[in-house]
Structure 1
Amino acid sequence: MDAHTDKQAEQDRIKAVYRRWHGGAALDRYAWHRPEIVQQVAARSRVFAALLTDTVGGDLSRLRVLDVGCGSGGFLRQLIDWGADPARLTGIEVQPDRLERARHVTAGGVQWRLGTLDTMGLRDFDLVSAQTVFSSILDPAQRRELADQMWRALRPGGWCLVFDFRYDNPRNRDVRKVTRAELDSFWPAASSRFRSLMLAPPIHRVLARGPWMLPDLLAAVLPPLRSHFIYMVQKGE
């Protein structure tokens, strides 16, 4: 197959995986009210808040943000809660049902785009994010291509943000871990940040119904048990 055919086949595989996953019983493990999900969302929000304040600043009202693979829009809603202007936010998603959900539950003004970043010619964003997107792409060349597209969409001095998995899941061959070395190879960074977070879900599920501070304490004292990371990298002026 040529490169175009390979790319289309990978995109079709990813779409099929998400359609199957979002229609299955596995979603029950990620219900918003489960104790471990509540704690994971809180942990992620804490790290997002710290890193965004350290990089783009505490005032998000003028920030232009592009969220690649935005799903149902959760990250953009978080930014709106923290003061971002909906009219300056753009979300891209390949699954129509998830994009429709994002439109339905998010403040008006956000720009929603159905498709892939390479077809849209978007430029001059202050922050370009991709969350559990790279791990869904198994082909290394296509990961690098997405990284290049994100970099082109970023203004000089802006930041890329990646939230993803640190480890492979032997029970899920549809995803592959993302390493810091791989990310460092994608972008010629003027500056970067890396934080691991969130207790590995199988352990967290067992501990979640105990004292609320136990998962946080375990994640704090045993960094190898943290299953995810947030990576931010700045484009030179």
Structure 2
Amino acid sequence: MATADDVLRVARSQLGYAERGNGWTKYGDWYAKGFENAAWCDMFLSWCAAEAGAAKAVGRFAYTPSHAGWFRDRGRWGSAPRKGAIVFFDWGGTRRISAIDHVGIVEALRSDGGIVTIEGNTSDAVRRRVRRTGIAGYGYPAYAGSGSGGSGGVPAWPGRYLRRAKPMMHGPDVKQWQARMRARGSAIAADGWYGPESERACRDLQKRKRLEVDGVVGPDTWRATWAK
């Protein structure tokens, strides 16, 4: 199975590649008939992943919101940059997946908080960029050795979003989260049912951790529950 370095090696080999005057690229030509002249930032990443043998880990997409949603639905979506992560941009600053405009791959992290990326279709070419703003989130490919996404003693996210619903959500993953919240000082019961009390506790945690306050335990909130 391919690693992040394998995909980055292919991406670096494409630096300087530019689209033709009519927008034609080899990435769109490779992706599918009719996409030869289409916006190609995501098709570039799909091409690099396929060349590196990492297509299953990175995915094959032309539409960036669908690609981000694919990572989210697999429990591999978050806000922390990592080498080899797929970084999604929303130039409007909403951070909504539906509003994502652009995508790249993280090559390195800088000490000043910026990230170094390799991106296709930026000024009509493959270029290296330093980004600090406009980041909607990160997709974490299941590279070789990347595990399930849990780290540093944090249990792996269960793969489903814990939220208030009808019928009420119930299960060992809810109980595990509630037990950890109780260990943090929350008064909620660890009964395995995600109801109004769990939602309120979740919102309080999200406010303290400066996350999106939606009362839903997704990957970021799950990790924050175990963070100090």
**Taking structure 1 as the reference length, what is the TM-score of the superposition?**
0.25
Please tell me whether Structure 1 or Structure 2 has the larger radius of gyration of its CA atoms. Answer: 2
**Taking structure 2 as the reference length, what is the TM-score of the superposition?**
0.25
